[in-house]
A and B are shown apart, each in its own frame.
Chain A
């Protein structure tokens, strides 16, 4: 197993852990939706916290790769860096594409008929972010598998 594969497996593991934690949080939110709604509407601090959470994800996803670029690609040779960057490009495309079409589309569609709970768009954005992050290591692992078959 080369460095790229190890890195991909580690990324995949982290993403799956994130998905598990995300699912637990999601079900907790659904289960306590009324309490959350009250807290959200009555306490500005809760609104601020949610807003900060969303902004933090957005900032991390846009600036993070530039800050982490050297660390992310450390130990990989030029071909492996290319594979990683291609996989990241696909992952970013999936994130932006799904965000726009699914989240905005469903918000507009549902918004016409019924009010949408605040946690829905937040959860949808986070879920799409995790899905996009899972795609990256999967693509890398598939590429490595294909190369090993060619050897």
Chain B
């Protein structure tokens, strides 16, 4: 099986949502700013709960925000 990588559109969606800051997003989903940075950089794969919280913040589905790339 080829190695798949989880990519995300968090950074783009933050800017689409009126240039929301990392801190503001972090506070809304209940994590630290470092966690948002790690997610945006692809260094941390969030739990399903956190992924759903992030997606809900932007009014999108999890698939819109996160996707698997081969």
A80 at the interface (CB under 8 A from B): yes
Q: What's the Cα separation between A97 and B47 when bound, in Å? A: 32
Q: What's the Cα separation between A150 and B30 when bound, in Å? A: 22
CB of B29, distance to nearest CB on chain A (Å): 9
Contacts of B37 in A (CB 8 A): 147, 150-151
B35 at the interface (CB under 8 A from A): yes
Interface residues of A in 1-47 (CB under 8 A from B): 2-4
Could you say which interface size class chain B belongs to? 10 to 19
Most B-side CB within 10 Å, residue of A3, A4, A151? A151
Contact B47 A78, beta carbon cutoff 8 Å: yes
Could you say which interface size class chain A belongs to? 10 to 19
- Contact residue among B31, B41, B50 (Cβ-Cβ distance under 8 Å from A150): B41
Q: What's the Cα separation between A92 and B46 when bound, in Å? A: 26
Given contacts A79-B44, A150-B37, A151-B37, contact A2 B32 (CB under 8 A): yes
Contacts of A4 in B (CB 8 A): 32
Interface residues of A in 132-151 (CB under 8 A from B): 144, 147-148, 150-151
A-B contact pairs, 11 of them (CB 8 A): A77-B30, A78-B31, A78-B35, A79-B31, A80-B32, A80-B35, A144-B34, A147-B37, A150-B41, A151-B34, A151-B37
- Could you list which residues of chain A lie within 8 angstroms of chain B, going by C-beta atoms? 2-4, 77-80, 144, 147-148, 150-151
Q: Which 6 A-B pairs have the closest CB atoms?
A: A77-B31, A79-B35, A79-B44, A2-B32, A147-B34, A78-B47
